[in-house]
Amino acid sequence: METNLKQSSGMRLLLVDGHAYAYRAFYAIRQLSSPSGRPTNAIYGFVKMLGKLLENLKPTHCAVIWDGGLAPERLAALPEYKAQRPPMPDALEEQLDGIVEYLHGAAIASFCRDGIEADDWIATLACAAAADGFEVVVASSDKDFMQLVSPRIGLINPNDKTEAIWKADQVVNKTGVQPEQIVDWLCLVGDSVDNIPGAPGIGAKTAAQLLREFGSLEQVFSHLERVTSERVAGSLRESQELLRRNQGLIRLRRDLPVERSWDDLRVGSPNLEHLRELYAGWGFKTLSKELEARHAAEPVLL
């Protein structure tokens, strides 16, 4: 795996979008259950995917962040925000506690707070860690995280088979704009995943062209007379209120209070006895063998 983050401190923080990876694991492995008949496909897939991330990235610190619900301020601005999303499948929901129990045994921090979206938690932690000298990798397929990319913050997308850590060049190749323009680009294009409408008739290429020419959405509004297409200018003129609202919906919060120290996120030594018990209960024979092989010479932590 290629890493091109700015390194100086030797500290690397991996932030994992918990629900995104749990969903991915759930749908990647269709049928798997414990000896008692309870579903374990999401747990197994999550353990395997997180293990691969840890092996490849070798972070000194790591946290898995979970959604605690929709942000009240976003719902107030747009009651339809994310309203089209189907409910979590019951078979996945009943496995989330198992995933968190695994993380506890693996000595990986796991955070969730009511009313706080995972994206905002991740953005806050990523920016705070970068300011403190960490290199940060955010693991998620959510395009909103492209707005965080900087010399010290990169992205790894599970859908990207190259396993490259995305930096500014990859963001530009994907969208046509710089990371600091992603919020305005998404405002113009809209985000169907989050049920956020964009400016009518303005697609990704037109949005990127506007931002390359004018720099920001505010500058576009200030120079509408210079927009050569009257159709595009008319759409922008009629959509100013909607687009300014979109900025508040799409811009990730970076100012949440961080009540944990970085030591709380340090990757620790796993509790092997606890993991043995979990794997036995879930019927994970292969993972049990791998665990024993990897820690054969290490003492059991009780």
How far apart, in whole angstroms, are the C-alpha atoms of residue 33 and residue 50?
A: 20
Query: Where residue 7 falls among pLDDT bands split at 50, 70, 90?
Result: very low
Please compute the mean of the pLDDT values over residues 245-270 and round it to a whole number: 93
pTM for this model (two decimals):
0.92
Q: Which amino acid, one-letter code, is at 294?
A: R
pLDDT tens-place string over residues 22-40: 999 999 998 899 999 999 9
How far apart, in whole angstroms, are the C-alpha atoms of residue 256 and residue 263?
A: 18
Stretch (H or E) spanning 13: strand 12-17
Query: Where residue 121 falls among pLDDT bands split at 50, 70, 90?
Result: very high
Task: Tell me phi and psi for residue 280, to 5 degrees.
Answer: -65, -45
Are 184 and 247 a contacting pair, CB within 8 Å?
Answer: yes
How far apart, in whole angstroms, are the C-alpha atoms of residue 185 and residue 179?
A: 10
The per-residue DSSP string of 63-110 comes to EEE---S--HHHHHH-TTTTTTSPPPPHHHHHHHHHHHHHHHHTT-EE
The predicted structure's pLDDT at residue 299: 52
Give the residue ranges of DSSP H helices in 145-203: 168-175, 182-189
User: C-alpha angle 82/83/88, rounded to 5°?
Assistant: 85
- Residue 6: is its pLDDT beyond 70? no
Query: Where residue 84 falls among pLDDT bands split at 50, 70, 90?
Result: confident
- Residue 161: is its pLDDT beyond 90? no
Query: Where residue 57 falls among pLDDT bands split at 50, 70, 90?
Result: very high
Query: Where residue 5 falls among pLDDT bands split at 50, 70, 90?
Result: very low
Please compute the mean of the pLDDT values over residues 171-184 and round it to a whole number: 97
- Report the mean per-residue pLDDT for the chain: 92
User: What residue has token string 């968190």?
Assistant: 100
- Residue 293: is its pLDDT beyond 90? no
